[in-house]
Each structure stands twice: as structure tokens, then as C-alpha cells.
Amino acid sequence: MGKGVAITGMGIISAIGNTVAENYLALIGEKKGISRIAWIDTIHKNEIMVGEINFSNAELESQLALDSNNNYSRTALLGAIAAKQAIAAAQITNIDTYKTGLISATSVGGMDMTERYFYEYLEEKSLQKYIDGHHAGDSSQKIAEQLGINHSLVTTISTACSSAANAIMFGARLIKAGKLDRVVVGGSDCLSKFTINGFKTLMILSDTYNTPFDENRKGLNLGEAAAFLVLESDAVVKAENKKVLAYVKGYGNANDAYHQTASSENGDGATLAMEKALKVAGLNPKDIDYVNAHGTATGNNDLSEGKALIRVFGENLPEFSSTKAYTGHTLAAAGAIEAVYSILALQHSVIYPNLNFKTQMKEFEITPQTTLKEKTLSAVLSNSLGFGGNCSTLIFTKEP
Amino acid sequence: MKRVFIQSVGSVSCQKTFDNSQFLDEIEIYEANVVPAIDPAYKDYIPPAAARRMAKGIKMGIVASKIALSDAGLDSVDAIITGTGMGCLVESEKFVSAIIDNKEEYLTPTSFIQSTHNTVGGQIALDLECKGYNFTYVHSSISFESALLDAQLQLAMEEAETILVGGVDELGAHTVKIHKLVHHIKAEMVSSARLLESNTEGAVFGEGANFFVLSNQKKEGAYAELLAVDILNTLDKEDLSQSMERFLATAELKVEDIDLLVMGNNGDVVFDTYYRELSDGLFSKIPQAYYKHLSGEFNTASSFGVWLASKILKFQQIPEDTKLNSITSSKLNRILLYNQYRGQNHSFVLLQKC
């Protein structure tokens, strides 16, 4: 079976912290980042709760030292901050030493600016600079520019809530195929009226703290975040004597082919994705020590994913938890956020609690881990499931 | 590493490309700056009740993919990989304007659901009941090439045997309006027959869907072998020729091994200079062709270029209306494609007769 692809750096900004270290402290300190919305003026502000990053765009721009003529969307700002952290953590000082690409994920892209200036564009010339940012790839181009990636492969994946997991998957494939020596992979999504109202019309937004895998769950909290990993080939790791944080050992993507937005009741897609990832990793279900579940706290997801977990693991289901109660559902970024959390779990031998859980779901017997638990971990499985039936699984390991 | 073949094609475009027995026998000439795709008989492919609820991008995507599948004699594939710059743009515009116009009230989910970028890929999977790998790349003018590269790697590494790969984008009224404001769309109407003589800023926008079945087994009727794909986010004009030679060298080829260069000239006086760099320089003695006067410009227009090149290799004939120069070659074995949009997101694709 295939060898794992080395992860040598990571960066993150989310509602529970502006760095990897801050995120970890919040996770083990059981500190949620869920609150009422502050930065977006929406009529739903008293009916929803969100995982929001406590910086204005101006503050984020100044962190990146951008001039006032910049046309960065919030997605690009968050993405650039997280990606730069990842590069620094991987101790990369000259990006051009090796052939380096960027695979980023987003679903919102520059929609925050589009929805703000949709009609104003027609009148106000100074705002027209944001028109270039309409396409989803714009945020990736800006992240590449911030990292100094030129003449290289820079692309964007958008498969709804599994996007960043898929970016990691494609990045791993590019390294395995020898197409790139090094690739920055992850995702970024900011909060927007577009997604708030979209999920509102689907009636899957909770009016209080989200409660994954709870019988009385009321839906999800939207969140905003960005996270990136640096993947490097074995040759680079060896030549540079790199410290490896963990390995991308397995990956699988499958389609539920059931409904445009809902997951099949039996979790066909999620089952297939987990089975494929185990196969690529050359591991058996019993080798997985912790499952970081997608667990959005919608009625549909948690039922479907829970059934898939039972189908794949049977009696061998290890501790599982969803970290969405901390961060909210960060859509296209979620797979990268949870990749960082899975790697931290491996490094620190710890399983995070599934916060806010009270009542056992009646459809099955499995129960998430509800308290912080120390356990030596060698393999962590992370799920990301999205609209369009898109189901993805990543497996991270300590050893290659 | 296995070899990768383009087994079949399916196209919905601003030309009558949906009939695979023909090859641009009859060219539509437009006097326009925005050109919608010609509707195939959707009811032949999609039940009318379902079609009514579908965005044009979904319909074009489903029809193009069904044509490609039937051309390959397949019912399903191992994976579906889609490229789209903007997804179902009309529904996205509808949802944004409804949020603003109705101040976030009285909204329905239909537009939101279809606005997700992977809607076309998801709908094709639903239509084919295909539970395989399903990715959507959304990166401007290299959205399609990203999908192509992903498919090539999976087939070469034997992770799949047949993959449906395509590019799809639709026009949206508001997007057209604002792109006219910033001169990305030409201010004046242009005859498609004289697109490259326009000498003005901006392109003529179009739309369409071009899907292909790729396979690592060469079967009867295959169009071409996919030799190589490369994507570059940035590239200075001065470095273009050298990059191209490096790309050819990875396939152990030289400029003189290329029988036709197919380029993405869109008539934008500012950015067509990239193409001129090659046509007047490195490739000045090589036959050249272009296609955006037939397809219009859109984020995945280069998928029409790959459609054109595949047909040329299979039919062994270059349509008169696509020729950029009068140089002829005694053989038609290898085609090199080059595309970029507004000086960014460059792609090289190399195809070979099979």
C-alpha cells in the first residue's frame, strides 16, 4: 500500500484562535467560539449564532500589510493569513527552492464583496476593482501572491462542505505522482449574507449552540475560518532534514448520488469514502484510533454519518467527536480546519470532546466522546460531507 | 504509468457541435459581444419536467456528458471531474439580488442550492447514478485543465479506468453587465469572422459545455492520446517561449514535432499579445488554429479548444475557419494547445493522434 505524504507545516485562523497554538488551547480548554454575529448586518442576527473571527477586514489587511487599493475579499484575507503561518511553520524561507504549488478550497470566494457591491458596481468606479474577485479562484491567486508562488500550479476546488478535504487529497496525489515537490493545501471561507440566507432557507440553522450527534439537535452554526497544510515529498523531507508533523496516509472521495443537498439515510457516500480511504492507507477499521466526524448537527447529516460509521466500523468504532460545536461549520474550509485538529490530536495524544451533547440519538447506539480524553493515537480519520452528495475522508498517521 | 486516451467527446456550444457525426460542417457567424450557446433538443436527454427546474449550465453539462458517454458506449464511469469558473451563475445572481431586493426576506432555497459550484458535477452523478469520485475545479481559465490533470494522474496511476471530464460555464445577465463596465467584454459588436482584427479591449463572451470520457485503455474510436498537461498561475510574456520548450521537453518533444498549435486568442488587443509571442516567434513555421470566435470566451472555453483538437486528430482535417495561418503540414499527429485569460492562468495541453 501507498506511503503517506509528509505534512511539515500548518496554519489556521478560526473562531477559536488566530494561530495553531491558540486553537489547540481552546480545544483542550473546551472553549467554544460561537456567538451572536458582529461583523455582518443581517436581519437574522437574533435568530442565529455563528463562529466568527474577531477581526475587521481592515485589521486583517493591516496584518498582511496590504495597501488601501487592495481588492481582497475576506476569504482571501483569512486564507493568506493561515497559509503564511503554514509556510512559516514549515520553516520555508525561499519558496522557489522547490517546485511549489497551491491547491485551495472555497465555496463563498469573493461573495462577501459581490453581495455588498452588487448594484453599486454599476455606479461607483472605485468599487469595480472587486469585479475581478468574483470568480472563486481569485482568493487562491491572492494567497499564491502572498506566498510568492509563481509559474506554478495554483488551482481551486469547490465541492461545498468537502472542498478543503478534497484540496488535501489532490495535493497528496500531486506529490505522489511527482508533479510537485511541495504543495500548500487547504481552504478558506468567510461568513456572508449569501450563505447565512441560503442555509436559512434550507431551515438547517440552529438558533442556539449547535449540538452534534444529539437527539435534539436543531441544526448548524455557520462559521468562518481558513487553514492550510504544507505537504512535501520524501526527497524534500530528506534533503532538508525536515521535521514531519504527520502524514496524509489515506484519502477517499465518493458521491452519494442521492439528492442535491441531502445525504442518503444509510450514508452510502460516506461509507464508500471511508472504505476507499482505508484501502489507500492500507489500514483496517480497527487501526483507526479516533474519528473526527463531520457532525454538523443537522438532523440529516448526523444520522447519515452515524449510520455510515456503524457500517464501516461495526464493533470497532473508536472514540469519535465533532468539533463543529467549537468553530461552527466553516463550509469549504472545514476539511482543512479538522485536518489541523486531527494532526494536533496525533501530536498531543488527545481526543477532543463533542461539546453540547446531552441526549442519545434514538436511531442508533453510538455515542460521541464527550470529555477530553488522553489516548495514544497513531491514526485519525476525518470526514467531510457536502452538498452535491460529495463525501470525503482523510486519514492522518504518525508514521509514514 | 498508463497511457491516457480521449475516448469520446460531447459538446454544447455557440456552434452546432452536439451532433458527433459532423465536424463544424456549418459555421454560425455572429455579430455580437455576447453569444449564448445553441440549445440542443434538451428533451432528447432530460425529462422536460426536470429540465424546467434546471439551470442552463446543468442542462448543457448533462447533455454534453450524455453525448460523450454514448459516444464511448458507456452507461457510467469511475469518476466525474468538472471544471467551471462560475458554476450556475444565473441562480447565483438571482439569489444575491433577491437578498438585496427583499432585504433578506421571502427567499426560497432553489437558487441557493443551484448556486453551489459543484451542482453540475453533482447533477451529472445523480443522473448517471455514479457514486464514484466527484470533484469540481473552479479556477478561472484553468478550471478545465485542473480537471484534466486530476483525471490524467488517476488514470496513469490506475486509480480509475474511465473518467468523465468536462468544462461548463453559463452566461449571466448581471455578470455580463459589470464585465462590460470594466471592458472585459468588448464595448462594440464584432463579427466573429473578424474577431482578431477588432483591435479593441475585451473579449466576446460565450458559454458552453464540453465533456470527454478519458480512459487508460485505448478502445476503438478513440480521438486522441493525452500526452501532457501543465498549468502556470503566472507567466511573463518574455518567459512564454522558454516555458513552452520546457513543457515539450518533458514529453521529449521539440517545436518541430508539433503539427498544429491551437491557441485561445479572444480578440483582446491587450492580452492577445501572449499568443502573438508564440505565433510570430517559436511557432512561426508551424500551422496554427484558434477557436474563441466560434465558442466565445468563458472560463472553460479552453475545453472547446480540446474538443476542437480532438476532432481534428480523429477527422484528420483542420476546419478552414479555424486556421490562423496558411502553413500546411503533411501530417497531423500532434497538437499543442495554449490558453490564458487576461495574462493569468496559463495552460499547455499536448495531444497525439491514436
Residues B234-252 have pLDDT tens digits of 999 999 999 999 999 999 9
Helices A334-348, A20-28: crossing angle, 10 deg rounding: 70
Least confident of A259-268, A303-312, B127-136: A259-268
Residue B76 falls inside a structural domain: yes
Is the Cβ–Cβ distance between A230 and A9 less than 8 Å? yes
C-alpha grid cell, residue B334: 500532434
Closest chain B residue to A119, measured at CA: B97
B302 plus B198 within the same structural domain: no
Q: Is A294 a catalytic residue?
A: yes
Residue B128 φ then ψ, to 5°: -90, -5
Same-domain status, B28 and B131: yes
Contacts of A157 in chain B (CB under 8 A): 135-138
Using the 3D structure, point to which of B215, B244, B274 is the last residue of a domain: B215
Q: Using CB atoms, pick whichever of A136, A198, A389 lies closest to residue B122.
A: A389
Kindly state whether residues B145 and B9 are assigned to the same domain: yes
Same domain? For B93 and B183 the reply is: yes
Rounded to the nearest angstrom, the minimum Cα separation between A106 and chain B is 9
Judge whether B153 lies within some domain: yes
Q: Residue B316 and residue B326: Cα distance in Å, rounded? A: 17
Closest listed residue to residue B1, CA positions, set B255, B276, B228: B228
Strand, helix or coil for residue B82: strand
Q: What is the pLDDT of residue B291?
A: 98
Q: How confident is the model at residue A260 (pLDDT cuts 50, 70, 90)?
A: confident
B314-322: long-range contacts at Cβ-Cβ below 8 A with a sequence spacing of 24 or more? B314/B223, B314/B224, B315/B23, B316/B353, B317/B23, B318/B260, B318/B287, B318/B289, B319/B23, B319/B24, B319/B27, B321/B24, B321/B27, B321/B193, B321/B293, B321/B294, B322/B24, B322/B262, B322/B289, B322/B290, B322/B291, B322/B294
Q: Rounded to an integer, what distance in angstroms lies between the CA atom of residue B99 and that of residue B66?
A: 35
Q: Does A1 have pLDDT greater than 60? A: no
Regarding whether B175 and B27 lie in a shared domain, the answer is yes
Q: Which of residues 81-120 of A touch B (CB under 8 A)?
A: 102, 106-107, 109, 111, 114-115, 118-119
| Dihedral pair phi/psi, residue A360, rounded to 5° | -60, 135
Is A151 known to be catalytic? no
Interface probe, candidates B77, B108, B114, B137, chain A, greatest A C-beta count within 10 A: B137
Buried-exposed string B164-180: b where 16+ CB fall within 10 A, e elsewhere: bbbbbbbbbebbbebbb
Q: What is the DSSP string of A146-204?
A: HHT--SS-EEEE-BTBTHHHHHHHHHHHHHHTTS-SEEEEEEEE---HHHHHHHHHTT-
Name the DSSP class of B29: -
- At A3 the pLDDT is 85
Please check whether residue A217 is in contact with residue A300, taking contact to mean a CB–CB distance below 8 angstroms.
no
Q: Which of A47, A95, A158, A189 is most worth mutating to test chain B (most B CB atoms within 10 A of its CB)?
A: A158
Amino acid type, B97: S
Other beta carbons less than 10 A from residue B24's beta carbon? 20
B220 domain residue, yes or no: no
- Nearest alpha-carbon partner for B307 in B327, B284, B323, B291: B291
Region for A295 from its dihedrals, namely left if φ exceeds 0, alpha if ψ lies in -120 to 50, beta otherwise: left
The whole-angstrom separation of Cα B286 and Cα A131 is: 38
Q: Which of A132-136, A325-329, B100-104, B142-146 has the lowest mean pLDDT?
A: A132-136
Residues of chain B below pLDDT 70: none
Q: Based on the domain organization, do B251 and B111 belong to the same domain?
A: no
Catalytic-residue membership of A134: no
**Which of B195, B215, B235 delimits the end of a domain?**
B215
Contacts of B233 in chain A (CB under 8 A): 102, 141, 144, 149-154
Chain B residue numbers touching A115 (CB-CB < 8 A): 96, 99-100
* B238/A contact by beta carbon, under 8 A: no
Q: Does B87 touch chain A (CB under 8 A)?
A: yes
A260 vs B97, B108, B113: nearest CB: B113
Mark whether B262 and B207 lie in a shared domain.
no
Which residues 266-305 on chain B approach chain A with CB closer than 8 angstroms?
Answer: 299
Instruction: Output the CA torsion B223→B229→B235→B237 (10° steps).
Output: -40
Chain B 323-352, residues with CB within 8 Å of chain A CB atoms: 344-345
Give the residue from A74, A109, A78 showing the smallest Cα distance to B116. Answer: A109
C-alpha angle A27-A33-A36 in degrees, rounded to nearest 5 = 165
User: Does B74 share its domain with B173?
Assistant: yes
Residues 6+ apart with CB under 8 A from B49: none
In this predicted structure, what is the pLDDT of residue A134?
Answer: 85
- φ/ψ bin of A216: left (φ > 0), alpha (ψ from -120 to 50), beta (otherwise): alpha
pLDDT higher than 80, residue A190: yes
pLDDT the model gives residue A120: 94
pLDDT for the residue numbered A2: 65
What domain range is B41 assigned to?
4-215
Within a domain: B313: yes
Length of chain B: 354
Distances (CA, A) of A50 to A192, A299, A330, A332, A355: 11, 18, 10, 15, 15
Distance CA A11, CA A245 (A): 12
Residue B297 lies in a domain: yes
Q: What is the mean pLDDT of residues A285-304?
A: 97
When CB atoms are compared, the residue of A43, A44, A144 closest to B233 is A144
Tell me how many domains chain B contains: 2
Do B171 and B270 belong to one domain?
Answer: no
CATH number at residue B266: 3.40.47.10
Quick check: A395 and A281 in contact, CB under 8 A?
yes
Whether residue B246 lies within 8 A of chain A, CB to CB, comes out as no
Cβ contact (<8 Å) for A159 and B85? no
In chain A, the domains with their CATH numbers are 5-239 (3.40.47.10), 247-397 (3.40.47.10)
Provide the sign of the torsion angle of the four alpha carbons B73, B75, B77, B83, taken in this order.
positive
Measure the CA–CA gap between B228 and B49, rounded to whole angstroms: 41
In whole angstroms, how far apart are CA A144 and each of A82, A333, B326, B344?
12, 17, 40, 12
**pLDDT tens, A73-99?**
999 999 999 999 999 999 999 999 999
pLDDT digits over B55-77, tens only?
Answer: 999 999 999 999 999 999 999 99
Residues A114/A136, Cβ–Cβ less than 8 Å = no
Chain A contacts in chain B segment 108-137 (CB below 8 A): 108-109, 112-119, 121-123, 125-126, 128-137
Question: Is B282 a member of any domain?
Answer: yes
Which residue has 508562488 as its cell numbers? A149
Report how far residue B35's alpha carbon sits from residue B15's, in angstroms, rounded to the nearest whole number.
10
Instruction: Decide if pLDDT at A248 tops 60.
Output: yes
Domain boundary pick from B173, B194, B215: B215
Q: From chain A, pick out residues whose CB is under 8 angstroms from the CB of B130.
A: 255, 257
Q: Residues A390, A249: contact at Cβ < 8 Å?
A: no
Active-site pick, A44, A134, A151, A294: A294
**B92, B177: one domain:** yes
Q: For residue B242, is it within any domain? A: yes
B283 within a domain of the structure (yes/no): yes
- Intra-chain end-to-end CA distance of chain B, in Å: 18
Query: Annotated catalytic residue: which of A134, A161, A259, A391?
Result: A161
In this structure, the answer to whether residues B239 and B337 fall within a common structural domain is yes
C-alpha dihedral (B230, B161, A385, B108), degrees to nearest 10: 80
Indicate whether B178 and B205 sit together in one domain: yes
